[in-house]
Amino acid sequence: MHPTEPPLQRIQFYLTAQYDCSYLPGQSARSQVATPTHLIDGSAYGALIRAGFRRSGQFTYRPHCEACQACVPVRVEVDKFIPNRTQRRCRKRNHHLTARFLPLDFKDEHYALYRRYLGSRHAGGGMDKDGPEQYTQFLLSSNVDSVMVEFRDDETLVMVAVVDQIENGLSAVYTFFDPDREQDSLGVYGVLWQIELAQRLEVSHLYLGYWIAESRKMAYKKQYGPLEGLVDGRWQELDA
């Protein structure tokens, strides 16, 4: 079923060939891809996000697997979000970090941290072999309102996040951080910081991509409730 909002009337959609699912072992997957890229401006991209799509570089897609509905697009209702005790501790532990907004430019320091992160967290997954060109295509190529945020502990770079701004919301594209600082729960702090940014900007939602109950890598998103999921074509609050 194709999205029908007015900004999408000139957008076309195609299905990819099947490929190995990155999250559920032994499963195959397909994606529905929006094209052409140059027509996916801020308005169209916002409509696509609301229809369950995500962005990887200039590649805008959503899962389209005939025999599996495990990937659920999710978003945080930022005005209703109340951090739990563990999240409050994480926020306090990292409150001294300084955040700086930057354009999507290549920096050797960022790329080195990206490689360290993937080598530790996603070894053998393919992305850990990404060279500068793949990194640039993945995180630094965007036709929409995107920003890179770097987080430093004094002078030391500890985390980088790429965030898209859409109509009345933010989309968390990707975050990578120092894998040697596991005790600081930087990944959790990155989500909490983006929720706070959405609150400061007075937008209603932070989109977190896909929640997959059976995937340990993705199940953590249920911690940021109340969480809405796009189920049967309608955004609705997921059970806690």
> For 48-60, how does the pLDDT look when each residue is reduced to its tens digit (9 = 90+)?
999 999 999 999 9
| Token pair for 151 | 């987080």
Least confident of 16-25, 124-133, 156-165: 124-133
- pTM (two decimals): 0.92
pLDDT at 103 exceeding the cut of 90? yes
For residue 139, pLDDT over 50 is answered with: yes
Residue 124 has a pLDDT of 55
Q: Give pLDDT, residue 122.
A: 63
**pLDDT interval class at 129 (50, 70, 90):** low
- Residue bearing the bigger pLDDT, 217 or 11: 11
Tell me how long the chain is. Answer: 240
> Max CA-CA distance within the chain?
49
Residues of the chain above pLDDT 70, percent = 94
Using the structure block, give the residue that is written with the tokens 């389209």.
64
Count of C-beta atoms within a 10 Å radius of residue 185: 18
Confidence of residue 1 (pLDDT cuts 50, 70, 90): very low
**Which of these ranges, 33-37, 111-115, 146-150, has the smallest mean pLDDT?**
33-37
Average pLDDT over residues 100-112: 97
Q: How many CB atoms lie within 10 A of CB 176?
A: 22
**What average pLDDT does range 119-125 have in this prediction?**
68
Residue 51, helix vs strand vs coil: coil
Cα–Cα distance for residue pair 25/106, rounded to 1 Å: 33
Please choose, from the candidates 239, 225, 235, 189, the residue with its C-alpha nearest in 3D space to the C-alpha of residue 49. Answer: 235
106-120, 179-193, 216-230: least confidently modelled range: 216-230
Task: Give the model's pLDDT for residue 3.
Answer: 54
- Locus of tokens 């995500």: 54
Whether residue 127 is predicted with pLDDT greater than 80 in this model: the reply is no
**Position with higher pLDDT, 114 vs 66:** 114
DSSP 137: H
Average pLDDT for 180-188: 95
Q: What percent of the chain has pLDDT over 90?
A: 75
